[in-house]
Amino acid sequence: MEPPRPGPVQYVTLDGSQIAYQVTGDGPLDFVYMLGIGTNFERWWDWPPFAEMLWRFASFGRLILFDRRGSGISDPLPEGRLPTWESYGDDLAAVLDSAGSTSAVIMACFDSGPIAATFAATNPDRVRRLIFWNSYARAQQAEDYPIGQPPSAYAAIGAILEQSWGTEDLTRYLVGDAATDELVEWHAKLSRGACTPASYARQNIEMSVADARHALPLIEAPTLVLHAEDYEVVPSALGRYIAEHVPNARYVGLPGWSLDIFERDDEDEILDLVEEFATGSAPASRADRVLASVLFTDIVGSTEKAATIGDARWKAVLDVHDRTARSVVSSWRGELIKTTGDGLLATFDGPGRAIRSALDLNRRLAVAGVQIRAGVHFGEIEKRRDGDVGGIAVHLAARAMAKAEAGEVICTRTVKELSLGSGLEFDHRGLHRLKGVPEEWELFAVQV
């Protein structure tokens, strides 16, 4: 089964401003994933771990994403005038109306918490379930709310954010230990593509005084609060407050510091929890069917080489191949499913690692006078009891490999799109009919 491609960007007009949104997938429920100020949903798909999380959401429902006014590809805020923070709920309502959604599961992250809480309290028939991630009902401290940030501290943080918005240093602070160079570069671009530092500061002031505490006791939807216990940017006490004041809420504290779910080692367990809560049932056969990047390789001209050098020397070549394959796949965090006599089948959790593993293997084997070709596809695979894997994604990787020349890595469009921002470049190889696979497929060669 092919992972769903991101849906087309659409617009809905509200009070003279256009709000961008997107619907991906066609599952039986609507799932709204909301981030806060300073984001751009089109660029979420450019970071493979983020995209894989979004596809997980789209696997069990219609995934609805949008940029509220002032962020991303929606209209900017009017100069000199801020909408009230409650009016951002109108953005959500307008998007749901335009998408034809009458009732949705809403997952609110960071400063979108007050918006989601107020919307759920005032529109109980439109919210099936509510999920908070590293969020709050109020950020600033008040006389009856000592757990919030003091106004002076919030003002200082706001000044720092305005000066450093869109920089890699800020991303490293927000992300923490998970901040690889690639993640930092992508996240800084995401921030710059969301809004300017001045616009961020204006919105940050507005959201700092947002107070949805009065709405919490009125929320009827079953509510799940997920919070990284050590995430100092949004203290876990703010998440606990939500769970303590929503009548039908469950709090799950998660160890460590983390901005986003996709940065965590326990991402799969958290997403299983989200899916089970959103759908009301445990993920079906999650352990047996998973999304993965599939790599197939084989040695070019293996039959001719074996005939030329003889069985004994050819066996030695294959031994070198197998040892090198195990080492390379392991170093790129892959799983070697099997060697195939003159090639291999391996899976990876990201297409970039699958591609780089193939390139690395090709370079190492070339020293031994062996040339390989490789194919990569990303899709759903079936894990079998004997340790093998199956499914159309495996067939597509094999068929892509068959189109490769010596030293080439050929991949499908899905892999190319997931690799945006990875530094990899591709040459278009046109549309192809692949044996045993329906429809035509666009193939691309990785530039070496």
CA 2/CA 50 separation, integer angstroms: 18
Do 222 and 321 lie in one domain? The reply is no
- 174: buried, middle or exposed (CB in 10 Å: 19+, 13-18, 0-12)? middle
Do 233 and 325 lie in one domain? The reply is no
**pLDDT the model gives residue 159:** 76
Q: How does pLDDT run across 82-128, given as a tens digit for each residue?
A: 556 567 889 999 999 999 999 999 999 998 999 999 999 999 999 99
Tally of domains within the chain: 2
Query: Which CATH number fits the domain that encloses residue 402?
Result: 3.30.70.1230
Do 217 and 323 lie in one domain? The reply is no
**pLDDT the model gives residue 293:** 93
Do 133 and 255 lie in one domain? The reply is yes
Do 263 and 308 lie in one domain? The reply is no
Could you tell me if residue 312 is inside a domain? Answer: yes
CA 141/CA 147 separation, integer angstroms: 6
Tokens of 198: 């001045």
Could you tell me if residue 334 is inside a domain? Answer: yes
Do 396 and 421 lie in one domain? The reply is yes
**pLDDT the model gives residue 1:** 37
Q: 252 has which bridge partners?
A: 226
Task: Identify the domain boundary among 251, 279, 307.
Answer: 279
Q: What is the pLDDT along the chain (448 residues), one digit of tens a residue?
A: 344 478 999 999 998 889 999 999 888 999 999 987 778 999 998 887 888 899 889 989 999 999 988 888 998 876 655 556 567 889 999 999 999 999 999 999 998 999 999 999 999 999 999 999 999 999 888 899 999 888 877 777 777 777 888 888 887 877 766 667 788 888 888 888 888 887 787 777 777 778 999 999 999 999 999 999 888 778 999 999 999 999 989 999 988 878 788 878 788 889 989 999 999 876 654 446 788 999 999 999 888 888 888 888 888 889 999 999 999 999 999 999 998 888 999 999 889 999 999 999 999 999 888 899 999 999 888 787 667 887 778 888 999 999 999 999 999 999 998 888 788 999 999 999 876 565 788 999 999 8
Element (H, E) at 383: strand 372-383
Tokens of 403: 């189109």
Query: Which CATH number fits the domain that encloses residue 20?
Result: 3.40.50.1820
Residue/partner pairs of 329-337 with CB below 8 Å, 24 or more apart:
329/295, 329/357, 329/361, 331/357, 331/360, 332/356, 332/357, 332/360, 334/295, 337/387, 337/388, 337/389
Q: Find the largest Cα–Cα distance for the chain.
A: 85
CA 269/CA 287 separation, integer angstroms: 11
Do 327 and 269 lie in one domain? The reply is no
CB of 135 within 8 A of CB of 149?
no
Do 334 and 186 lie in one domain? The reply is no
Q: Can you say whether residue 70 is alpha, beta or left, with left for phi > 0 and alpha for psi between -120 and 50 degrees? A: left
Q: Can you say whether residue 378 is alpha, beta or left, with left for phi > 0 and alpha for psi between -120 and 50 degrees? A: beta
DSSP codes of every residue in 264-285: STTHHHHHHHHHHHHHSSPPTT
Could you tell me if residue 335 is inside a domain? Answer: yes
Could you tell me if residue 101 is inside a domain? Answer: yes
Task: Identify the domain boundary among 246, 279, 312.
Answer: 279
**pLDDT the model gives residue 170:** 80
**pLDDT the model gives residue 126:** 96
Do 299 and 401 lie in one domain? The reply is yes
* DSSP reduced 3-state for 214: helix
Q: How far apart are the first and last CA of the chain?
A: 30
Q: Which residues contact 62 (CB under 8 A, 6 or more apart)?
A: 23, 24, 25, 26, 27, 29, 30, 31, 99, 101
Do 163 and 191 lie in one domain? The reply is yes
Do 49 and 194 lie in one domain? The reply is yes
pTM over 0.85: no
Do 346 and 232 lie in one domain? The reply is no
**pLDDT the model gives residue 191:** 87
- The residue segments making up the domain with residue 230 are 9-279
Could you tell me if residue 142 is inside a domain? Answer: yes
Angstrom CA distances, 76 to 16, 150, 196, stand at 11, 29, 10
Tokens of 272: 């299983």
Could you tell me if residue 4 is inside a domain? Answer: no
CA 76/CA 203 separation, integer angstroms: 11
CA 301/CA 125 separation, integer angstroms: 64
Angstrom CA distances, 232 to 115, 135, 176, stand at 22, 12, 10
Task: Identify the domain boundary among 279, 307, 331.
Answer: 279
Could you tell me if residue 1 is inside a domain? Answer: no
Q: 21 has which bridge partners?
A: 10, 66
Cβ density class 321-350: b for 16+ within 10 Å, e for less? beebbeebbeebebebbebeebbbbbbbbb
**pLDDT the model gives residue 3:** 45
Could you tell me if residue 3 is inside a domain? Answer: no
